[in-house]
Amino acid sequence: MVKNQIKTVVLLALLTALLLWIGSFWGNQGIIIGLAFALIINFGSYFFSDKIVLRMYGAKEVKRENAPELYDIVKEVSQYANIPMPKVYIIHKQNPNAFATGRNPKHAAIACTTGILDLLSKDELKGVVAHELAHIKNRDILIATIAATIAGVISYVAMIARWGAMFGGFGRDRNNGNIIQFVVLAIITPIIAMIIQFAISRSREYLADETGSKFIHNSAPLAKALEKLETGAKYHPMKGGNNATASLFIVNPFKGSSLFTLFSTHPATAERIKRLKSMKIYT
């Protein structure tokens, strides 16, 4: 757990350093404008993204009388995690999946598809719920927002650089130094920022796997669930929705996955299972 926390801090520091490095040769004005722009967008996302994504997938809030098994599992694991019980939602989709959202433990929600409820056993579902509540406990929405803000500023400045190049913003004397500067700033830097942002997402998935397993003192249910979910998601890819929300789900809900790990929002499922099986609480 400590290793993944340290990795997140290091990656966020790298993103920040990348932003400061850009500012060193682009000028403070562009950075300030980009930062303000990104903060406004991500401030709104932080406070309202839960409502937006739940509505996007047609999630319906349920009480105990509507879904007693799921409701009781969420309540039980919330007590283990020592956090307020989040609101419980069901999404009527065949794709077997789940996600948690909300800016903090007091304003959180967990959503499960009908596909995952049909596919998993009670213990496996408990493992998935524990994983999602770990995201809430670890405040991963906040961390993702910070990463998105910094990466957003970098992308904004890169966009300015590209427009500047189109209208002669890199000067009349287009020597090799200017060309290299343009390529690094406008093309390479935003790619690096995206890679770091995705690495943070993968790191938080590993951490949620570990934290959630510790909530229920057993890593086997989640490992078994992930095996089923990986196969189920391929046979029943999510219809509708948006690829930009893929990182929210416990496994990528859309057909196919990135050919390159660097550009994947989720760690390889096989590696996640391997780590879960190596935990001392795998029984």
Q: What is the pLDDT of residues 165-202, one digit of tens each?
A: 655 555 444 555 566 666 666 778 788 888 888 888 89
Rounded CA separation 225/276 (Å): 11
Q: Give catalytic residues, as residue numbers.
A: 132
Q: Provide the pairing of β-strand 87-91 with 107-113.
A: parallel
Rounded to whole angstroms, the maximal C-alpha distance in the chain is 72
H-run or E-run covering 151: helix 140-166
Domain assignments of the chain as residue spans, ordered by start: 2-278
Rounded CA separation 73/112 (Å): 12
| Model pLDDT, residue 172 | 46
Rounded CA separation 22/30 (Å): 10
Instruction: Identify the segments of the chain with pLDDT beneath 70.
Output: 1-5, 7-9, 11-12, 15, 18-31, 33-35, 37-39, 41-42, 45-46, 145, 148-149, 152, 160-185, 244, 255-262
| Model pLDDT, residue 125 | 98
Rounded CA separation 152/34 (Å): 8
Residue type, 112: C
- The answer to whether 134 and 211 are in contact (CB under 8 A) is yes
Rounded CA separation 226/239 (Å): 20
| Model pLDDT, residue 24 | 58
pTM: 0.81
Neighbours of 227 (CB within 10 A): 15
Rounded CA separation 12/90 (Å): 33
| Model pLDDT, residue 192 | 81
| Model pLDDT, residue 117 | 97
| Model pLDDT, residue 109 | 95
Strands (E), the chain: 60-61, 87-91, 98-104, 107-113
Residue type, 264: S
